[in-house]
Every structure is written in structure tokens, then in C-alpha cells.
Structure 1
């Protein structure tokens, strides 16, 4: 009888020590997994959610997250699409609990960088407002996108891009771009 109690006590101590080691290992594993999650992965898990982003140069932006690219986010800002360079995002509110798997996505998606997203705006001939990281803003139509810059034909937001309406062409370094907003005619 004494031996059975002794063995039962030893077994209980062993089980408790094993459970404690498992809990410590689980917590350690969660910390390592959390440490591998990038902001873009958290954002990819929030597609479809309303978010508030604080961005260098652009301040607070609110809208429903439509898509996440390699280095950009697309928001629906109340009927206006807002393309945001992720490098300018300083805080995000409204993420929720979901996270995309780290590094999730196809090789094609990884190549869909800000440069290619801006090329889409150029093809559409959309009138845009380009907000830079220093807070300055320019309005016009993206004429072209180079390896590290875009060329903006500056004109009034309520005028189509026509030679007579263009006041000048401005080259803007892509790393300086915080936000590109599509504009409805008459907005500036």
C-alpha cells in the first residue's frame, strides 16, 4: 500500500512537471511564431475590415481594406480608392485577431509591388492626388512609371489630362510617396 502511494505521488509529480514544461514550451513557441509575423501579414488577415491607418505625411486614413500587395495596401476610402505605401504606415487600428500565414502568397503576388500598382493607375488615366511623406501633395494624371519614380502630369482635378490643361510634369521618387488617392472630377 505504501509503495503504491509513493509511486502515485511520483507519477503525479512527474505529470505536473511535464505539463509545466509543455506550457512553457507552448508559450515559447507562440512567442517565436508571433515574432515572425510581419505587419503586412497582420494586414493581409484584415482584408475586408474597416481600418484606420496613420501614415507619414498623410495623417490618418480610414477605409475598408480591399487588398494587400508586396509593399502597398488598397483602401476604399468612401468611394475613393486609396493606395498606401506600407513603408509609411506607422500605426493601424481595427485589425482584429486574424493573421495571414507569414510569407503567404504566390511569387506573382510578391512581384505586385507599388511600382506595378501605380502603373495600373497610369493605364486607367485616373486623376490622382499624390501625397508625399513630407506632407506635400500634387494632383494630376500619372503619365508613366520608371524603375524608381513616377511622372505626374499636373493639372486641375476637374479637368481631363489634355495638353492644354497640363501645367507641367513632375517626377516623383517612389520612396517619397505615402499615398495615392483617386479623385472624382471636381475634387482636388
Structure 2
């Protein structure tokens, strides 16, 4: 056998050995990597993409994911912007791959958003498991909101944990 063939054979065996070792390392690393991926990481990797959410009240909402925090997401549908607590989502539709590296911390709480909606007297649709109402957030405490129903002017006190979603029509947004 010529020296060239011996060298080619050795290179081939070495390449095959390196490929097998790399494949083995990948097989070991994938589960370890996936165990460190959070839902927030997957959501952050889906920002700007169309996703589908199935909520605890049975509604399915398709929209563009605009914001995601550890507590809530904001979707834009064709007709509305929808603020949804993560605790009210049963199923997330196709999500992108998780973003690598550190994420900008989003400390904006749902309470802060609700207080701003109250200050601006924004017309919103409030969804709870027991029904939905059109009206205005009139106040926001640490774990509740005051909500005035548009039709009856009746004021409801709603625990934040009961909110399935709050939406604002796109045409009314500034």
C-alpha cells in the first residue's frame, strides 16, 4: 500500500472518529442545554412573530408577540392589543428558539400598565372566566383593579389573579 493511501486511510479514520465524538458530545449537551431554557427565553425568541395562545377561558388568540415578561405577554391581533397574564395561558402555539445570552429585564408590571390605562381613561374589554365587559379601569391596587362597566356604570372590584386578558381596540390607540 502506498504512503498516500495509508495517509488517506488514517485521515478518513481520524475524521470519522472526530465526527463520532462530536455527535456524542452533541447528544449529551442537548438535554443539558434544553434544561436551562425558560419559557421567557422561548417567548423572547418569538418577539415580532405570529403565535397562538389558548387561554384558560377557552379562547384562542392569534397575534404578533410584541412584549414578553415573566408575568405577562402583549399580543397585537388585527383589531386589538391584548395584555395576557402568563398564568392564564394553557398552551403556547409555535414559539421560536430561545434567545441566547442575557435578556433585557422587563420590570414593567401589569399593575403599572393597568394604572396607566386608568389614568388615560382607555376603553378596554376585560375578560374573566365568568364573562367579559367593556369599560374602563378606574383604579388599580396592589392585587386588584376597579373596573367601571360601560353600559351600566357599575363599578366592579376584580382581583388581578382573575383577569384572563384585557384588550384595547387598535383603532382607539394613540
Normalising by the smaller structure, the TM-score range is 0.7 to 0.9
Contact 1:36 1:102 in 2 (8 A): no
Contact 1:50 1:64 in 2 (8 A): yes
Q: Distance in 1 between the 2:139 and 2:115 partners?
A: 7
1:100 aligned partner: 99
- Determine helix, strand or coil for the equivalent of 2:53: strand
Shift of 1:83: 0.6
- Determine helix, strand or coil for the equivalent of 1:40: helix
Shift of 1:174: 0.9
Change (3 A) 1:30 1:182: same
Q: Where in structure 1 are there 5+ consecutive unaligned residues?
A: 2-7, 157-164
1:126 aligned partner: 122
Superposed CA RMSD: 3.0
1:147 aligned partner: 142
Contact 1:37 1:102 in 2 (8 A): no
TM-score by length of 1: 0.74
Q: Distance in 2 between the 1:181 and 1:94 partners?
A: 22
Shift of 1:63: 1.4
- Determine helix, strand or coil for the equivalent of 2:104: coil
2:172 corresponds to 1:172 = no
Change (3 A) 1:19 1:41: same
Instruction: Count the aligned residue pairs.
Output: 171
- Determine helix, strand or coil for the equivalent of 1:117: helix
- Determine helix, strand or coil for the equivalent of 1:150: strand
Contact 1:68 1:74 in 2 (8 A): yes
Q: What are the superposed Cα offsets for residues 150-169 of structure 1, whole Å, 9 maximum, x if unpaired? A: 1111222xxxxxxxx622x2
Q: Where in structure 2 are there 5+ consecutive unaligned residues?
A: 2-7
Change (3 A) 1:71 1:129: same
Q: Distance in 1 between the 2:170 and 2:34 partners?
A: 41
TM-score by length of 2: 0.79
Q: What are the superposed Cα offsets for residues 57-76 of structure 1, whole Å, 9 maximum, x if unpaired? A: 15101111121123111111
Q: What are the superposed Cα offsets for residues 28-47 of structure 1, whole Å, 9 maximum, x if unpaired? A: 22222222212222121112
- Determine helix, strand or coil for the equivalent of 1:118: helix
